[in-house]
Homo-oligomer: A and B are copies of this chain.
Amino acid sequence: MSPKITTELLKQLRQVMKNPRYVQEPVQAYIVPSGDAHQSEYIAPCDCRRAFISGFDGSAGTAIVTEQHAAMWTDGRYFLQAAHQMDSNWTLMKMGLKDTPTQEDWLVSVLPEGSKVGVDPFIIPADQWKRMSKALRSAGHDLVPVKENLIDTIWTDCPQRPCKPLITLDLSYTGVSWRDKIVALRSKMAERKVMWFVVTALDEVAWLFNLRGSDVEYNPVFFAYAVIGMNTIRLFIDGDRMMDPAVREHLQLDSTLEPEFKIQVMPYGSILSELQAIGASLSPKEKVWLSDKASYALTEAIPKAYRYLTPYTPICIAKAVKNTAETEGMRRAHIKDAVALCELFNWLEKEVPKGTVTEILAADKAEEFRSQQKDFVELSFATISSTGPNGAIIHYKPVPETNRTLSVNEIYLLDSGAQYKDGTTDVTRTMHFGTPSAYEKECFTYVLKGHIAVSAAIFPNGTKGHLLDSFARSALWDCGLDYLHGTGHGVGSFLNVHEGPCGISYKTFADEPLEAGMIVSDEPGYYEDGSFGIRIENVVFVIPAETKYNFKNRGSLTFEPLTLVPVQTKMIDVNLLTEKECNWVNEYHQKCREVVGAELERQGRHEALRWLLRETEPLARVQ
């Protein structure tokens, strides 16, 4: 992997930073964040501006270019990769290390007095703008919005913004019509006394209208905004997508509808001017609801006194609680996904000893088996297929330069998932195709104990996910071990594999309480640098729990695994499990047998069924 040569590009960028065609006054620094205009985690190629200017294409990083310097901030996952991908024009700023300056502090240290720092106001979230702007102002500089994205002006072969056809989802998938979702949203708006709600996150637009797209890889979303008023619905979207008769029918564009459900379709690019028009027309007390992570440009379109900002939107919260149709869909998707993985692991067990299976081949094979299942759409994220030391790189993705061959001597970790039209999956299994060492089994068993501690936890209604995080670590902590990532994230229903507002993490972000119907992952791990990685991940469903007592009538919750893929018993040191944990494993495997076994039978996959039966033999604990 040789670095991208950026000398010429940086020269061009520095020219446009002074070009009056693009900037009112020259800017002495220009910030290139990671995101797109919707603050998406996964972005389209046309939005990979930071990768274009620097060569560094990890999922997190911010570039800042001044007249003299070019610097890149990224976190511990990407120190090596960024160092490899960037040329000597760039300084790597290792976030999380003690001596690394913040972007603000660095800017203040290198800028001449009274500088202007430019940024695309559509890309920077309003909360980040506020922090950065405040720090710069207190040092005598100014953060200024540069309307035209300066990278785009020099990116001559920039790919087009994708504009792929839409998929309509009927009630059998969504459970609730888009009209009923609009009604529910308007009632939340009325509660908070807001007149307008601006939908900026792509998955929120998709969920609200029961539409899906494929503009961004792995995430079935499409580029659009929406603005919902108490009597109007405006959808901002480009292309011929609204010409599709199925879409027109789904959105009832050609029907005679009550005016409050009539969707006005407007060009994607007109969101700002429309919002500005709304902003200018507001009477006192007419508030506009936005996410506090919406872009600075859209947030500024609404005068400050009229803004109502929240960390989580009502759509984000409603979307997290799955209804019966969505839950049933998620169940079906997970059964199909388990069938594919039984096929894969059965195949791996036969092929790995031959020495012909690489990480990439295994990942491809996993995709192949998944694609044979009904309603398969695409993967839900880049497959993490890693063996031996690669397993310790938590966000590893195999590429030809690192592609390692699976063997009977190393632990193999597969973290993968798919988008099916009825649901989204995300599962990690850690396997050994030979004989694991006692130490490997010990570590695996601690991770399993943590996984079970979360999965079997009973907790009161209203508990926030972060209060469960330590349960996942307790067995590791007892032996002085730990893992440096959170334990779980929300999962969408045929939507983004990572979604808010709930999660299970030691980082106390502003998570919302867990509620019956939410779906999260449970994925503790243990990683030994240069040696191996272990992670056991199920997607779990929050369900009411039956308890002996019921304090203050609050009710209790617990989790039900949606993922039904055997946990390799060969890796378990049964003597480290309590009786309760041992029973959990046996009951889980019994359920895998019954549910996935029946589906394997139905699909006539007899060899994989035999593998499943073998892998789900009950554990016997020595007393």
Give A residues with C-beta under 8 Å from B: 98, 138, 305, 457-460, 462, 466-471, 473-474, 476-482, 506, 508, 545, 547-552, 554, 556
Chain B contacts for A556, CB-based, 8 A: 477, 480
Given contacts A467-B470, A470-B468, whether A477 and B462 have CB atoms under 8 Å apart is no
| Inter-subunit contact A480/B548 (CB<8 Å) | yes
Chain B contacts for A469, CB-based, 8 A: 467
Given contacts A305-B138, A506-B467, whether A481 and B98 have CB atoms under 8 Å apart is no
Chain B contacts for A476, CB-based, 8 A: 551
| Inter-subunit contact A462/B547 (CB<8 Å) | no
Measured CB to CB, the closest approach of chain B to A77, in angstroms, equals 14
- Write the chain B residue with the least CB distance to A623: B623
Measured CB to CB, the closest approach of chain B to A218, in angstroms, equals 31
- Write the chain B residue with the least CB distance to A76: B552
Q: Give Cα distance in the complex from A470 to B465, angstroms.
A: 11
- Write the chain B residue with the least CB distance to A476: B551
| Inter-subunit contact A474/B477 (CB<8 Å) | no
Given contacts A305-B138, A467-B469, A467-B506, whether A547 and B479 have CB atoms under 8 Å apart is yes
Cβ contacts A to B, 17 pairs, < 8 Å: A138-B305, A457-B474, A457-B477, A458-B477, A458-B478, A459-B470, A460-B480, A460-B482, A467-B469, A470-B470, A477-B556, A479-B547, A479-B549, A480-B548, A480-B549, A480-B550, A481-B551
Q: Give Cα distance in the complex from A549 to B443, angstroms.
A: 11
Q: A459-B477, A468-B470 are in contact. List 20 more A-B contacts (CB 8 A).
A: A98-B462, A457-B474, A458-B478, A458-B480, A459-B470, A459-B473, A467-B470, A467-B506, A470-B471, A471-B474, A477-B556, A479-B548, A480-B545, A480-B548, A480-B549, A480-B550, A480-B551, A480-B556, A481-B549, A508-B508
Chain B contacts for A508, CB-based, 8 A: 466, 508
Given contacts A470-B468, A471-B474, whether A554 and B460 have CB atoms under 8 Å apart is no
Q: Give Cα distance in the complex from A174 to B552, angstroms.
A: 46
Chain B contacts for A477, CB-based, 8 A: 457-460, 556
- Write the chain B residue with the least CB distance to A481: B551
Given contacts A477-B459, A508-B508, whether A482 and B98 have CB atoms under 8 Å apart is no
Q: Which of A462, A474, A508, A551 has most chain B Cβ within 10 Å?
A: A551
Chain B contacts for A468, CB-based, 8 A: 470
Chain B contacts for A457, CB-based, 8 A: 474, 477
Q: Give Cα distance in the complex from A477 to B462, angstroms.
A: 13
Chain B contacts for A547, CB-based, 8 A: 478-480
- Write the chain B residue with the least CB distance to A470: B467
Chain B contacts for A549, CB-based, 8 A: 479-481
Measured CB to CB, the closest approach of chain B to A420, in angstroms, equals 34
Chain B contacts for A305, CB-based, 8 A: 138
Measured CB to CB, the closest approach of chain B to A391, in angstroms, equals 16
Chain B contacts for A471, CB-based, 8 A: 470, 474
Measured CB to CB, the closest approach of chain B to A550, in angstroms, equals 5
- Write the chain B residue with the least CB distance to A480: B547
- Write the chain B residue with the least CB distance to A285: B140
- Write the chain B residue with the least CB distance to A461: B98
Chain B contacts for A478, CB-based, 8 A: 458, 547
- Write the chain B residue with the least CB distance to A467: B470
Q: Give Cα distance in the complex from A462 to B479, angstroms.
A: 16
Q: Give Cα distance in the complex from A293 to B19, angstroms.
A: 45
Chain B contacts for A98, CB-based, 8 A: 462
Q: Give Cα distance in the complex from A471 to B467, angstroms.
A: 9
Chain B contacts for A551, CB-based, 8 A: 476, 480-482
Measured CB to CB, the closest approach of chain B to A312, in angstroms, equals 16
Chain B contacts for A474, CB-based, 8 A: 457, 471
Q: Give Cα distance in the complex from A477 to B460, angstroms.
A: 7
Chain B contacts for A460, CB-based, 8 A: 477, 480, 482
Chain B contacts for A548, CB-based, 8 A: 479-480
Chain B contacts for A481, CB-based, 8 A: 549, 551
Measured CB to CB, the closest approach of chain B to A284, in angstroms, equals 8
Chain B contacts for A480, CB-based, 8 A: 458, 460, 545, 547-551, 556
Q: Give Cα distance in the complex from A194 to B458, angstroms.
A: 48
Measured CB to CB, the closest approach of chain B to A534, in angstroms, equals 13
- Write the chain B residue with the least CB distance to A469: B467
Q: Give Cα distance in the complex from A552 to B481, angstroms.
A: 9
Measured CB to CB, the closest approach of chain B to A399, in angstroms, equals 27
Q: Give Cα distance in the complex from A47 to B473, angstroms.
A: 45
- Write the chain B residue with the least CB distance to A550: B480
Measured CB to CB, the closest approach of chain B to A539, in angstroms, equals 22
Q: Which of A98, A460, A481, A556 has most chain B Cβ within 10 Å?
A: A481
Measured CB to CB, the closest approach of chain B to A143, in angstroms, equals 17
Chain B contacts for A473, CB-based, 8 A: 459
> Which 8 A-B residue pairings sit nearest by Cβ, starting from the closest?
A480-B547, A480-B549, A508-B508, A479-B548, A467-B470, A481-B551, A480-B550, A482-B551
Given contacts A457-B474, A477-B459, whether A482 and B138 have CB atoms under 8 Å apart is no
Measured CB to CB, the closest approach of chain B to A308, in angstroms, equals 9
Q: Give Cα distance in the complex from A545 to B508, angstroms.
A: 25
Measured CB to CB, the closest approach of chain B to A94, in angstroms, equals 11
Q: Give Cα distance in the complex from A470 to B487, angstroms.
A: 15
Chain B contacts for A458, CB-based, 8 A: 477-478, 480
Measured CB to CB, the closest approach of chain B to A431, in angstroms, equals 23
- Write the chain B residue with the least CB distance to A555: B480
Q: Give Cα distance in the complex from A469 to B462, angstroms.
A: 15
Measured CB to CB, the closest approach of chain B to A85, in angstroms, equals 22
Chain B contacts for A506, CB-based, 8 A: 467
Q: Which of A457, A460, A462, A477 has most chain B Cβ within 10 Å?
A: A477
- Write the chain B residue with the least CB distance to A578: B578
Chain B contacts for A470, CB-based, 8 A: 459, 467-468, 470-471
